[in-house]
Chains A and B, each alone.
Chain A
Amino acid sequence: MLKMHNIRKSFRTDTIETHALRDFSLEVKEGEFVSVTGPSGSGKTTFLNIAGLLEPSTDGQYLLDGEDVSNLNDRQRSHLRNEKIGFIFQGFNLIPDLNLFDNIDVPLRYRGFNAKERRKRIEKVLEQVGLSARARHLPAQLSGGQQQRIAIARALAGEPRFLLADEPTGNLDSLMARQVMELLEFVNEWGTTIVMVTHDPDLARRAQRNIQIVDGQVCDLRPVTEQSDAVSA
């Protein structure tokens, strides 16, 4: 599904050059649920941005779904993001002026679906996240957990092959976090590949595989069960 080889990403600000990722190689298989942990500033978000085609890498090779996407132009990357990738953010990132229905509609419009198709898909995902009754509400009228479920619905509406989540439970209390996690697990069971960055070791452990990023590199690849001590140490 995702194959990165010797990815490098550096940021140049005035005088300092930060190497956010270096010699970064990783493979994620179709249908996997991978959690990503690591210290703050280690490059987790950078990895997710490159994986999700939000940013190009400085160097290296990236195959998404078997296709080399390292050298695509902006338009091609936008279309790929729209069709193959779903995003879930820590801050939900719903559009405050649009109601929930219209929020989920945003990526579907960019996809070019007709009104009927969009409505069908929106109603379906709203039902999946259990918020059908709130379709005409504004994001501000919902709790954090509900907002994140809408954000997940928005990510799922386009039926992406690949779901990327950057600390999706970071702004939620533990009960809501658990609900969101259960939703993601459910989505994964239906075949969507998920990569989730998290600071929560319990949630990380629930994934099939955990990757630790330290200092811009994949540190270790161990089954989650053996790794729990290392995280708490």
Chain B
Amino acid sequence: MFEFKPILSTLWHHKASALLIALQLALTLVIVSNTLLIITDRMEKMARPSGMDIENILTVNFLAIPQDYDMAGAVRADLDMLRALPGVVDATHSHQIPLSGSGSANAFQTQPNQETGGEVANYYRTDPHFIESLGLALVTGRNFTETEMQVLAPNEQRQAPVIIVTRQLADKLFPGEDALGKPLYNGDSPMEIIGIVERHLGAWPEWSKAGNVVFFPALRTTQSMNYLVRTESGERDALFKLLADKLAERDSERVIEVNTLSNHMARSYAVDNMMVKVLSTVGAMLGFIVALGIVGLTSFWINQRTKQIGVRRALGATRTNISRYFLVENSLIAATGIALGAAAALIANQYLVRDYSQPVLTLLPLGICALVILLVSLGAALAPALRAANISPATATRSV
């Protein structure tokens, strides 16, 4: 038996403080539900598959010191050496490092000399070892061959006749069609799609078009070069130092920097990670403050009503009756706050969606947040409510 009516009339006499707590709960629900949404959105983004064997790839960047450096020769020699190292699965050169935040992009069209339209995509100049060196999955078509490789001078603009693209890009440019064998353009000469890889997240995971990637079989002989070296599972860290030493030993006229692909990825997700941490902390702190407020108010009300509680006990209330009274009272306040908060959260979300392109708040996460807030509220009221049950019935006759 819940004493809704008398509790409501009592609350009516303390409507200001009850409403204050309800509003605090409402505001918390607005903030926490929208925060949770942003957090899950970020976490989903970070959990996206990259398409690459992230954990087992070492990256090498070097800058050649001599002005007349034989880059093509160095690359050949370096890669031959790297591929021969025990523990190395494969190695490739690439003009940019994936997930590193630096990359190149261009528009690719389905028709020659198209001025507009098409899709913007990251592109990489690499060699036939890139699929194996990144652990990509070729879903259809074939890999590049060594004879398709083009060696370009530093400023030479020459289109590759064959390319490999990601499935995402293929589906965007040729929706509902088989893209294999179709040409792409960036000007007038066709680049035939000879293979499609399942997935590659490209240079910028944050980018709205992340996953649009094109690979060219080419090597441009600038002063700087990158290698991507895939090791056998678990061998990466052991090879880290060896790789740097071997490369320096083979040719010391360059500045070499070895890193891991996981590091590059972590750096590009640093902002998301930070966001998740900051928002979770803010949400937890908010919950804590609200809980403190409820503990405070409930304790205050119970102290104010010590005599009344004694009288109720004298009139036959059991301990359970007393605790339940305060928990029901708390739930009524919380329910009011949650109802107000749910409405406000949905309204606030509309602005976030419209002005900050945040995800849409659906009823499930809102319901989960509401439930959590209700439980926090009840949990906070529990200790004072149990203490209230210990007030002696003799308080009715003893205190003045």
Cβ contact of A98, chosen from B9, B14, B307, B392, cutoff 8 A: B9
With A89-B397, A97-B9, A166-B397 in contact, is A75–B392 under 8 Å at CB?
no
Which A residues between 45 and 71 are near B, CB-CB below 8 angstroms?
A: 45, 48-49, 52-55
User: A169 contacts the other chain (Cβ, under 8 Å)?
Assistant: no
Question: Which residue of B has the minimal Cβ distance to A166?
Answer: B397
Q: Which of A21-29, A102-110, A179-187 contacts B (4 or more CB under 8 A)?
A: A102-110
With A102-B5, A112-B1 as contacts: A55 and B393 at CB distance below 8 Å: yes
Query: Does B299 lie at the interface of the complex (its beta carbon under 8 Å from any beta carbon of A)?
Result: no
Q: At the interface with chain A, which of B31-39, B59-67, B309-317?
A: B309-317
Whether the pair B396, A93 counts as a contact (CB closer than 8 A) is yes
Q: How far is the CA of A197 from the CA of B10 in the complex (A)?
A: 32
Of all chain A residues, the one with the shortest Cβ separation from B314 is A87
Mostly, the B contact residues are helix
A78 contacts partner chain B, Cβ-Cβ < 8 Å:
yes
A110 touches B317 (CB 8 A): yes
Q: Report if A82-B394 is in contact (Cβ < 8 Å); known contacts: A95-B311, A106-B6, A112-B1.
A: no
Is A110 within 8 A of B6, CB to CB? Answer: no
Which residues of chain A come closer than 8 Å to B354, judged between CB atoms? none
> Size band of the A side of the interface?
20 to 34
List residues of chain B with CB within 8 A of the CB of A49: 394, 397
Is there an interface contact between B397 and A74, defined as CB atoms closer than 8 Å? no
B316 near A54: Cβ-Cβ < 8 Å: no
Q: Once the chains are docked, how many angstroms separate the CA of A109 from the CA of B398?
A: 24
- Residue on B nearest A52 in the bound complex, by CB: B314
Shortest CB-to-CB span from B399 to chain A, Å, is 9
| B residues in contact (CB < 8 Å) with A | 1, 3, 5-6, 9-10, 12-14, 307-308, 311-321, 392-394, 396-398, 400
| A45-B397, A75-B320, A79-B316 known, 17 other contacts, Cβ within 8 Å | A48-B397, A75-B319, A78-B316, A81-B314, A81-B316, A87-B396, A89-B396, A89-B397, A93-B311, A95-B10, A95-B311, A97-B10, A97-B14, A98-B6, A102-B9, A106-B312, A110-B317
